[in-house]
């Protein structure tokens, strides 16, 4: 079965991310599922950036331990990747800047000939890639014309030079997969939110969710959508409170450091019951850590962030498809149950690009507002069996709608009376049950692999694709809780029923899901950790799984 | 509607003699004024921080968002973005607006969101028992500074002028009619309106005498002249003895923030089309 | 055995807290241990404040379901406490303002006669209390002269009027206990920190730790001590970072909402290894909640606050004596192991006043700085077996001391190299073991009651005294983990060994310690919760314990 | 010591042509100047935020505290309180000092802590790929504002003057010798010294031409005259076209914050006595 990997490397500023995406689109057109990993340090120009595009005839989301093609725009692209380069690897390189085996292309000269700017070097090397890989030039033309809106002619011209400058070294066969959209995790989240009825997005830039801000800012005009980038994260979440109070379905995005600044108002949403949806992209911590690398070490922080006790929804999708689905769910349920929700993702998912092979879910309908007996007697925090009170927004003639961060009565007026305090607390806590009923209707625990195998790979978030693949190879069971709060204890126990050995894979040091499993009496036999900021490549993880399986 | 009594029956727990009562009356009357002009009462939203002042949210029978300490303005901005038709005002403390949430105050002025900010400037943290704030005079003895503060106060008026505020005024809880008038003007100003209210804290910092004897009403002052506003606002630095002007120091309209954002909800069709386009672009 | 309770009630502004304290001091002089609970709503004048002083010949820290004396400066002091007032209760009241059975005192008239201000009404009623309770006036004089530095004469004069205006209704016998200092939890924490070598305290006012700021600000001159109250909590913790970097032992104080704002820099201390000590006073949440009432619902938030994984010390003392000891420990170990530490308390402890019956611990010695081989080769983050690197402060000639929130090398220079990232992460995590070794030397789990009983009351924090008392009454075992991170799993299991039934008492709704126990495989049979912001009174809790025991 | 090369051998990752290089050289030379005057190198501490500018902490071989985004000044204040003998300076970005941490900037000026703040004002968030900041001109198109910003910038100079800053200067990465001189003056100023440096961002906002053509050196300007400083500082609003002055706008000494706090460590005896007293008072 065809399973190819292409590394594109160069300096920051060489347009490596775009080049990698184009390579992915070439495979998309050729009939493959694709996945692209993007690796970059925290700098703007220079250094070493690279992408790895992998293409196969099954959905994928992980890189491998070998590379079939290297497209080298700098020396590091060859030197730093010797561990995955073999003598079978086909290398094309910019002969002006790189010394290597393989086929050199004098990009500099071609750019001059075409009067093209240096940043078009990536088009040239993509042309060369098509040449060595036996990809027909029309396929490249098709992809360029869709993906490069500006300067198409010139890009095609330099690509053609590259194409012609090399000789075909292999011929990538056509695959059988229908071309699909390629979505980064950030884009998938954005689309999920839009499907859920998003009306406003507020964020302060922070890796790995900045690109969600950029994506929605770009999309804002046509919906229309209110996109705001305020002075800091505190302002971000408070604007979201105001927008929600005003009736606008709103999401906000950040990473751990920014989320810290939001915790106080996150807790406020536990009390004032404004539906707040946070896209929380994990990266390597603690603190500034490795800002452009990945990690799964914020789960317990998110589970407990903010003083006091209140129900919250936490979903942790594992790839772009799940990101679309669960982001929509998060926005919808947050509003339905008037609880804060977190879409907990990480750099690997946010900045990875996946083929979207599932159909889009249906758009959320505008839920009718729950009834309130009469507007004149409207009480924002009316005590109900479900704990969910009717929601109205100003202006509502005849009603004074009072949102309150203090302990309050049904009207939203502050109270310190013990019995009322308890009644209102219990009203709010009942929403946990209501929310649980909703999530029980959903595939809160995703399963795969051999569903009755005695060995289980347990994972969460962006390690889903790599674990899925290994589970299939090893004929293991694959279990991924997608909802982490309210914790789907029964569903998870059911998914694990009959398991003799559970191997948990996490990109952290202390075992975040493991702690949560322990709390719920779910045993884990082995835990595999990684905490250098890099996602698990397929073979490496497979080996580590085999060691303990 | 206009006849609704705007005061809730919640028990009031301000200290006897507290300046907050005057502000409450001035605010209620100013709101009544708006309602009489045809603004539907349900279109008015009050946002408060946390502190003595903030109890206004419980005491006024209007839409309110009782926020957390220091965080009135970003909530108010969100509300304006959600619905620019609403009249949004904030009651904040000096601890709220000048310490915990100073940055928001500057950015609200910069953005020129159409919000009226009333700062109940009693120059202490009232509700946490009278510690110094950024506008307490040098040497103020509070429980966190028993030997007296070592910091000079700043002048919120000049800070707001420097931040681009288009309406800068100062009132006092000692002069009720003028205060009502100032709040009314602030509410009618299209854009960010800043009103520093020198409020008496009967318990911790009762400066009635100072405000009564040194206070004067701005007269013959050109509110369109920035330099004149600056000079007037600089007269008293919240510290040394000097005449204390009350009135509108500066007023100038410029485009408001929220008018740059879509007001309409996207239709289901528009949303579906947009999503389809985004998906197609990535194919 | 004598066990008396006195309620002093009045409006905010009547000096109720001071009056309650004086009553406590009277009992202190009479030979009793005392405990005082202080209840007040969030307002400055008016409303209803009250204290309950309890006195007994054993250390105590909880109130009871009956009251022996009521000192009523307002009507609420009688009307709102009917549940604890019986016909045995001796009531003295301000006849000008209160209608009640018992003995009225025309305070207004007496104040006028003495030309005393209204706030001295509390002295008058205390005089009346001494009169009805048969406390010799010289005892009152002794207490007044120690506790009322200003206006002693006038206070004594109005007290004498009160004393003479009533008739003796009972005679409190002399107890056998040596008078001790009466310390609020806040004061106890302050003294513990000072014993640990505190050089600076930074805080923004917030109930229930504001009074720690006031206490240390008042004490600042004589040590000397740097006490700063900056613009907000973000600034607070960052100033602490700067102070620690500069070599000053520093603590900061706040409550949940303020701690939220500190979490980002709390995580920074996980990475840059500056020793940061936070006094975290819980109150009723979520959000603003009931700001002047109590709660134990922030434990998991504190256990996991801040993005990323790093060791932290959390101590949760249960009374003033423990607060002294463990605050000192927290400051010392934070510096020794270069980890952030949290002294996790609550409103009940912070604002309760206890007899300090233990001796003060020895002052922490100035630990010699750990050796670094030569200053010229000083590396702030040198990798060591213990994970703890030598600490130096500027100016250190020949060394550039680099603190860094990014992932960094031994010199403190930023790195993104995977192997180095892992090595430094593991160095930091090793401090968890080092810290554990230190805490294993300490009484991390406190036990009491019948130490081999089959039934155990398990508690943490300020419910210690009430649970201790019940454990003794019921002949149960009492187990209180004082250190909550690193979790003393073995010690706790050992303390619980042989238990057949474990009853956990917590002032929250979701079971914070219970979740932690579950994670560590420690079973809890029954959990008793309360979440109206009020601490458990003795008999009420005893009844609830009996229901499940 | 003075001969130590102040640049670490860490690989520099600023973009070619970035204005940070100039600031680095100016800063290094200014530090050398101090050291030549006898300030021990080990007494100098640099605090940085997070952003391109902040890499200065890695690149200068001196004591440093590489803090988090927006949080240089409170750390620097803590360091000064710990040891007032230290020379403490901050390199902050405009995102750091004017957005995320605006409040700290105002309070550092208010307190007059003896810290020199150098703002690398490239008028974009550099490290997060060029979004607008509070000093980007109206209409700036960054990735969060693809249609252009709708907010006017504020003027950090007038804001600092209104906050009570005792040293207010502006330089540019385009004028190295003057910048070195300004930083040197700032470091020697006793009290809070604010230096806004119009820095070229070669990648996202290269305003070299603007600063070269519209920039001029303040001459014949009385730095002791607040009103003159205000007028000069108001000349250009970081937006419309106007002459852009470089130099010291204002300088005035007043008492510094840290001198009010104890510098000496309490002795063991003093500590023991104090604790005994506290305990006794409560007996
Ligand atoms: C984050 C946070 N920090 C501290 C507090 C405690 N707190 C409550 S009110 C207040 C001060 C109020 O002062 P101000 O804003 O001037 O209002 P005032 O009471 O004087 O009207 C403080 C510090 C809080 N609620 N939240
Ligand atoms: C709390 C927080 N929010 C967001 C970020 C992401 N972030 C890193 S650098 C930066 C902006 C830097 O801009 P500026 O301060 O102007 O520095 P420059 O890169 O332009 O030198 C941001 C937003 C962060 N690190 N921390
Ligand atoms: S403390 Fe001061 S501000 Fe607060 S209610 Fe009392 S008088 Fe008013
Ligand atoms: S992005 Fe701009 S500020 Fe950052 S290094 Fe590059 S040129 Fe300099
Ligand atoms: Mg105030
Ligand atoms: Mg910048």
Mean confidence (pLDDT) of chain A: 96
Q: Which helix (H) or strand (E) holds C332?
A: helix C320-337
- For the cut 60, the answer to whether the pLDDT of residue C372 exceeds it is no
Average pLDDT of the residues in B224-231 = 97
C195 φ, ψ to 5°? -60, -35
Joined tokens for residue C48: 């209803």
CA dist., res. C30 & res. C77, Å (int) = 25
CB D118 within 8 A of CB D88: no
C462 φ, ψ to 5°? -70, -5
Q: B281: which residues sit within 8 A by CB, 6+ positions away?
A: none
Task: Mutate one of A210, A231, A281, A286 to test the D interface: name it (highest D CB count within 10 A).
Answer: A231
- Please report which confidence band the pLDDT of residue C23 belongs to, taking 50, 70 and 90 as the band edges: very high
* Mutation pick for ligand 3 pocket among B12, B94, B203, B207 (CB with most ligand atoms within 8 Å): B203
Min distance A159 CA to chain C CA atoms (Å): 34
Task: Give the CA count within 13 Å in the CB-facing half-sphere of A350.
Answer: 29
CA dist., res. A355 & res. C294, Å (int) = 52
Q: Does D104 touch chain C (CB under 8 A)?
A: yes
- For the cut 90, the answer to whether the pLDDT of residue D57 exceeds it is yes
Of A5, A17, A6, nearest to A119 by C-alpha is A17
What predicted TM-score, i.e. pTM, was given to this entire model? 0.98
How many other C-beta atoms are found inside a 10 Å radius of the C-beta of residue C57? 14
- Of residues A91 and C368, more confidently modeled: A91
Q: Do C295 and A308 touch (CB under 8 A)?
A: yes
For residue B110, the cross-strand partners are: none
Residue A375: what pLDDT?
A: 65
- For the cut 60, the answer to whether the pLDDT of residue C371 exceeds it is no
**Tens digits of per-residue pLDDT, B158-207?**
999 999 999 999 999 999 999 999 999 999 999 999 999 999 999 999 99
A33 φ, ψ to 5°? -75, 145
The alpha carbon of residue C258 and the mean position of all alpha carbons in its chain are separated, in whole angstroms, by: 17
Report the side by side order of strands in the sheet with C483-485: C226-228, C200-203, C250-255, C277-282, C341-346, C313-315, C483-485
Residue D2: what pLDDT?
A: 40
Joined tokens for residue D100: 């995320």
Q: Do A195 and B45 touch (CB under 8 A)?
A: no
Nearest CA to ligand 2 atom 3: A258
Residues of chain B by 3-state class (helix, strand, coil), percent to 5: 40, 20, 40
Query: What percent of chain D is predicted at pLDDT more than 90?
Result: 94
Which of A146, A246, A414 is the closest to B78 by Cβ? Answer: A246
Report the side by side order of strands in the sheet with A455-458: A445-449, A477-481, A455-458, A501-506, A526-529
Residue A374: what pLDDT?
A: 60
Does B15 contact ligand 3 (Cβ within 6 A)?
yes
Class of residue C13 by CB neighbours under 10 A (exposed 0-12, middle 13-18, buried 19+):
middle
Of B164, B197, B192, B163, nearest to B180 by C-alpha is B197
Task: Tell the residue number behind the tokens 């309150």, with chain if given.
Answer: A404
Of C464, C482, C462, C466, nearest to C295 by C-alpha is C462
CA dist., res. C478 & res. C475, Å (int) = 9
**Tens digits of per-residue pLDDT, B14-49?**
999 999 999 999 999 999 999 999 999 999 999 999
User: Out of C16-25, C214-223, C247-256, which region has the weakest mean confidence (pLDDT)?
Assistant: C214-223
Average pLDDT of the residues in B91-119 = 98
Residue A520: what pLDDT?
A: 98
Residue B267: what pLDDT?
A: 85
CA dist., res. A226 & res. B78, Å (int) = 10
Got the DSSP string for B43-65? GEEEEE-SSTGGGHHHHB-SEEE
- Give me the domains of chain C, ranges plus CATH numbers: 3-164 (3.40.920.10), 183-355 (3.40.50.970), 375-439 (no CATH), 445-548 (3.40.50.920)
The CA-atom distances, in angstroms, between C167 and each of C60, C90, C114, C269, D274 are 30, 11, 21, 62, 43
Residue D16: what pLDDT?
A: 95
**Tens digits of per-residue pLDDT, A110-147?**
999 999 999 999 999 999 999 999 999 999 999 999 99
* Residue in chain C nearest B95 by alpha carbon: C231
How many other C-beta atoms are found inside a 10 Å radius of the C-beta of residue D243? 11
Min distance D209 CA to chain C CA atoms (Å): 34
Joined tokens for residue C384: 């060591």
Residues C480, C484, C488, CA angle at the centre, nearest 5°?
75
**Tens digits of per-residue pLDDT, C413-422?**
999 999 999 9
- For the cut 90, the answer to whether the pLDDT of residue C539 exceeds it is yes
What is the distance in A from the centroid of ligand 3 to the CA of B114?
A: 29
Whether the upstream peptide bond of residue A286 has omega within 30° of 0, thus cis, is yes
Joined tokens for residue C212: 């720690």
Query: What percent of chain C is predicted at pLDDT more than 70?
Result: 98
**Tens digits of per-residue pLDDT, D121-174?**
999 999 999 999 999 999 999 999 999 999 999 999 999 999 999 999 999 999
- Please report which confidence band the pLDDT of residue B2 belongs to, taking 50, 70 and 90 as the band edges: very low
For residue B215, the cross-strand partners are: B244
- For the cut 60, the answer to whether the pLDDT of residue B1 exceeds it is no
Strand residues in chain D grouped as ranges (E): 44-48, 63-66, 87-93, 115-121, 124-125, 131-132, 167-172, 193-198, 215-217, 244-251
What is the distance in A from the centroid of ligand 4 to the CA of D18?
A: 5
CA dist., res. B130 & res. B142, Å (int) = 6
Does B90 contact ligand 1 (Cβ within 6 A)?
no
Q: Could you tell me the maximum CA-CA distance found in chain D, to the nearest angstrom?
A: 74
Of C316, C311, C349, nearest to C330 by C-alpha is C316
Q: Which atom of ligand 4 is nearest to the CA of D20?
A: 8
What is the distance in A from the centroid of ligand 3 to the CA of B131?
A: 12
Joined tokens for residue C294: 């109590």
- For the cut 70, the answer to whether the pLDDT of residue D4 exceeds it is no
The CA-atom distances, in angstroms, between B272 and each of A191, A192, A195 are 11, 12, 8
Residue C222: what pLDDT?
A: 81
Alpha helices by DSSP H, A228-289: 233-245, 256-272
Is the dihedral angle over the CA atoms A229, A233, A235, A236 positive or is it negative?
Answer: positive
Which of B50, B100, B128 is the closest to C232 by Cβ? Answer: B100
How many other C-beta atoms are found inside a 10 Å radius of the C-beta of residue A341? 28
Min distance C258 CA to chain B CA atoms (Å): 10
- Please report which confidence band the pLDDT of residue C370 belongs to, taking 50, 70 and 90 as the band edges: low
- Nearest ligand to residue B121 Cα: 5
Task: Tell the residue number behind the tokens 């681009």, with chain if given.
Answer: B164
Interior/surface letters B71-84, b for 16+ CB within 10 angstroms, e for the rest: bbbbbbbbbbbbbb
Chain A residues whose beta carbon lies within 8 Å of the beta carbon of residue B271: 194, 197, 223, 363
- For the cut 70, the answer to whether the pLDDT of residue C548 exceeds it is yes
DSSP strand pairing (C33-39 vs C46-56): antiparallel
**Tens digits of per-residue pLDDT, A210-260?**
999 999 999 998 888 999 999 999 999 999 999 999 999 999 999 999 999
Per-residue pLDDT of chain A (549 residues; tens, 9 = 90+): 899 999 999 999 999 999 999 999 999 999 999 999 999 999 999 999 999 999 999 999 999 999 999 999 999 999 999 999 999 999 999 999 999 999 999 999 999 999 999 999 999 999 999 999 999 999 999 999 999 988 999 999 999 999 999 999 999 999 999 999 999 999 999 999 999 999 999 999 999 999 999 999 999 988 889 999 999 999 999 999 999 999 999 999 999 999 999 999 999 999 999 999 999 999 999 999 999 999 999 999 999 999 999 999 999 999 999 999 999 999 999 999 999 999 999 999 999 999 998 889 888 876 545 555 566 689 999 999 999 999 999 999 999 999 999 999 999 999 999 999 999 999 999 999 999 999 999 999 999 999 999 999 999 999 999 999 999 999 999 999 999 999 999 999 999 999 999 999 999 999 999 999 999 999 999 999 999 999 999 999 999 999 999
Chain C residues whose beta carbon lies within 8 Å of the beta carbon of residue D48: none
How many other C-beta atoms are found inside a 10 Å radius of the C-beta of residue B239? 16
The CATH superfamily assigned to D20-282 is: Thiamin diphosphate (ThDP)-binding fold, Pyr/PP domains (3.40.50.970)
Min distance D250 CA to chain B CA atoms (Å): 16
How many other C-beta atoms are found inside a 10 Å radius of the C-beta of residue A528? 20
What is the distance in A from the centroid of ligand 1 to the CA of D87?
A: 34
- Chain length of chain C: 549
Nearest CA to ligand 1 atom 26: B69
Joined tokens for residue B215: 């206070």
Residue D144: what pLDDT?
A: 97
Of C309, C298, C292, C290, nearest to C342 by C-alpha is C298
Joined tokens for residue A446: 């995703």
DSSP code, position D44: E
CA dist., res. C130 & res. C139, Å (int) = 9
Residue D1: what pLDDT?
A: 40
CA dist., res. C44 & res. C211, Å (int) = 15
Chain A residues whose beta carbon lies within 8 Å of the beta carbon of residue C310: 286
The CA-atom distances, in angstroms, between C498 and each of C182, C477, C495, C528, D22 are 37, 10, 9, 21, 71
Query: What percent of chain C is predicted at pLDDT more than 90?
Result: 95
Residue D264: what pLDDT?
A: 78
Q: C30: which residues sit within 8 A by CB, 6+ positions away?
A: C55, C135, C139, C172, C174, C175
Task: Mutate one of C237, C310, C416 to test the A interface: name it (highest A CB count within 10 A).
Answer: C416
């Amino acid at each position: 079965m065809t399973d190819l990997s292409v590394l594109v490397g160069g300096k920051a500023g060489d347009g490596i991310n775009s080049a990698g995406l184009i390579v992915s689109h070439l495979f998309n057109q050729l009939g493959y599922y694709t996945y692209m990993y993007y690796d970059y340090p925290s700098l703007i120009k220079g250094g070493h950036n690279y992408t790895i595009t992998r293409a196969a005839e099954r959905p994928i989301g992980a890189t491998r331990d070998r590379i079939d093609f290297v497209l080298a725009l700098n020396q590091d692209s060859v030197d730093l990747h010797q561990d995955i380069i073999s003598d079978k690897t086909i290398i094309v390189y910019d002969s002006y800047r790189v010394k290597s085996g393989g086929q050199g292309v004098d990009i500099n000269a071609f750019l001059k000939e075409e009067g093209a700017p240096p940043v078009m070097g990536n088009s040239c090397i993509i042309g060369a890639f098509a040449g060595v890989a036996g990809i027909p030039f029309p396929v490249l033309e098709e992809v360029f014309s869709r993906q490069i809106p500006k300067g198409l002619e010139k890009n095609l011209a330099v690509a053609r030079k590259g194409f012609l400058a090399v000789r075909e070294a292999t011929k990538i066969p056509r695959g059988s997969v229908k071309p699909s959209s390629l979505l980064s995790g950030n884009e998938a989240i954005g689309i999920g939110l839009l499907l859920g009825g998003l009306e406003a997005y507020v964020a302060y830039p922070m890796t790995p969710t900045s690109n969600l801000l950029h994506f929605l800012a770009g999309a804002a005009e046509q919906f229309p959508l209110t996109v705001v980038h305020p002075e800091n994260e505190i302002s971000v979440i408070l604007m979201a409170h105001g927008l929600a109070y005003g009736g606008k379905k709103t999401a906000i995005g950040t990473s751990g450091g920014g989320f810290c600044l939001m915790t106080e108002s996150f807790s406020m949403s536990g009390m004032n019951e404004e539906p707040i949806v946070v896209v929380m992209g994990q990266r390597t911590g603690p603190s500034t850590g490795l800002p452009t690398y990945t990690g799964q070490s914020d789960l317990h922080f998110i589970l407990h962030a903010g003083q006091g006790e209140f129900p919250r929804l936490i979903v942790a999708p594992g790839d772009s498809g799940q990101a679309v689905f669960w982001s929509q769910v998060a926005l919808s349920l947050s509003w339905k149950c008037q609880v804060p929700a977190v879409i907990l993702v990480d750099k690997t998912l946010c900045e990875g690009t996946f083929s979207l092979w599932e159909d889009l879910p249906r758009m959320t309908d505008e839920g009718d507002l729950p009834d309130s007996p009469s507007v004149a007697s409207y009480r924002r925090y009316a005590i109900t069996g479900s704990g969910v009170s009717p929601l109205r927004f100003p202006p509502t003639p005849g009603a004074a709608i009072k949102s309150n961060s203090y302990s309050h009565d049904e009207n939203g007026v502050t109270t310190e009376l013990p019995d009322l305090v308890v009644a209102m607390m219990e009203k709010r806590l009942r929403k946990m049950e209501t929310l649980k009923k909703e999530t029980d209707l959903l595939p809160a625990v995703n399963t795969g692999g051999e569903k009755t195998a005695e060995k289980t790979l347990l994972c969460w978030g962006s390690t889903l694709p790599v674990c899925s693949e290994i589970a299939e190879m090893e004929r293991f069971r694959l279990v991924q809780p997608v909802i982490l709060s309210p914790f789907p204890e029964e569903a998870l126990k059911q998914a694990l029923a009959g398991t003799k050995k559970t191997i948990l894979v996490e990109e952290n040091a202390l075992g975040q899901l493991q702690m949560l499993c322990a709390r719920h009496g779910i045993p884990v036999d082995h835990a595999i950790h990684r905490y250098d900021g890099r996602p698990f490549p397929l073979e490496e993880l497979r080996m580590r799984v085999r060691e303990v399986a | 509607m206009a006849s609704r009594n705007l005061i809730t029956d919640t028990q009031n727990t301000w200290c006897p003699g507290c300046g907050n009562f005057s502000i409450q009356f001035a605010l209620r009357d100013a709101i009544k004024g708006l309602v009489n002009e045809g603004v539907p009462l349900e279109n008015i939203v009050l946002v408060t921080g946390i502190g003595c002042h903030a109890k206004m949210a419980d005491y006024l029978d209007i839409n309110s968002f009782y926020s957390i300490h220091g965080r009135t303005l970003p909530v108010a901005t969100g509300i304006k973005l959600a619905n620019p038709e609403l009249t949004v005002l904030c009651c904040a403390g000096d601890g709220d607006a000048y310490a915990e949430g100073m940055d928001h105050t500057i950015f609200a002025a910069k953005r020129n969101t159409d919000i009226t900010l009333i700062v109940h400037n009693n120059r202490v943290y009232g509700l946490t028992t009278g510690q110094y704030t950024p506008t307490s005079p040098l040497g103020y003895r509070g429980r966190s500074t028993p030997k007296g503060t070592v910091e000079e106060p700043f002048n919120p008026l000049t800070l707001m002028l420097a931040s681009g505020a288009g309406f800068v005024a100062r009132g006092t809880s000692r002069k009720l009619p003028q205060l009502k008038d100032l709040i009314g003007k602030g509410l009618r100003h299209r854009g960010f309106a800043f009103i520093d209210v020198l409020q008496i804290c009967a318990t911790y910092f009762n400066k009635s005498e100072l405000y009564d004897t040194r206070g004067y009403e701005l007269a013959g002052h050109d509110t369109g002249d920035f330099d004149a506003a600056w000079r007037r606002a600089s007269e008293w630095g919240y510290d040394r003895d000097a005449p204390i002007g009350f009135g509108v120091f500066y007023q100038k309209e410029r485009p408001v923030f929220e008018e740059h954002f879509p007001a309409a909800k996207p239709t289901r069709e528009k949303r579906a089309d947009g999503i389809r386009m985004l998906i197609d672009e990535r194919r």
